Amino acid sequence: MKITKRVHRKDATKSAPYQLKIPAELKVVRLRECPVADPIIDKPHLVVDFWRKHVVTASWFRDFQECLCVFLFNTRHRLIGFELIGLGTLDSIWTTPREVFRTAILHNAFAVVIAHNHPSGDPTPSESDIKITRELIRAGQYLRIDLLDHIILGDARRENGYASLRAMGYFYS
């Protein structure tokens, strides 16, 4: 639907109409229930299991580039859905708290977990991973949306195969 409003100049000699474009309406669609038997995901390894079962099989997932997803939870920490936030390159992905929390606000989430993969297979967090995590913690505190964890997934054949920034002590106490 296109909404326009005609605006005329004050000068009567130049009465050519101009169109002011108003943004289209916003449609909010609630995520459908996630396909898990028990949608309570309260431990990092459960997020990793969900990622390896459902995110990796999504049509938009690319194992050769970083993919950042946000997992949305209600007040009882039941998963209400997940969404792709962005696709990066071989070794980086760019995001801001605005993109992460926009999704959480639109879907009325109480808490979020963010997760992304490292195509190299090494789940060790980079300096930029730590920096964005701290920015997300601060933004979440301001919005009263808890950031429960930031999980980095690597090669499943490695000893642990993932890193939880909360378990590594990067979250403020």
Global pTM exceeds 0.85: no
Sequence ranges of the domains in the chain: 28-164
The pLDDT mean for the chain works out to 82
Class level of CATH domain 28-164: alpha beta
DSSP of the chain, one letter per residue?
---EEEE--S-TT----EEEEPPPPP---PPPPPS-SS-B--SHHHHHHHIIIIITTSTT--TTS-EEEEEEE-TT-BEEEEEEEEE--SS-----HHHHHHHHHHTT-SEEEEEEE-TTS--PPPHHHHHHHHHHHHHHHHHT-EEEEEEEE--TTSSS-EEETTTTT-S--
pLDDT confidence bin for 90, thresholds 50/70/90: confident
Q: What is the pLDDT of residue 27?
A: 45
Over residues 17-76, the pLDDT tens digits come to 556 555 555 444 444 544 555 578 889 999 999 999 989 888 888 888 999 999 999 998
Q: What is the pLDDT of residue 33?
A: 44
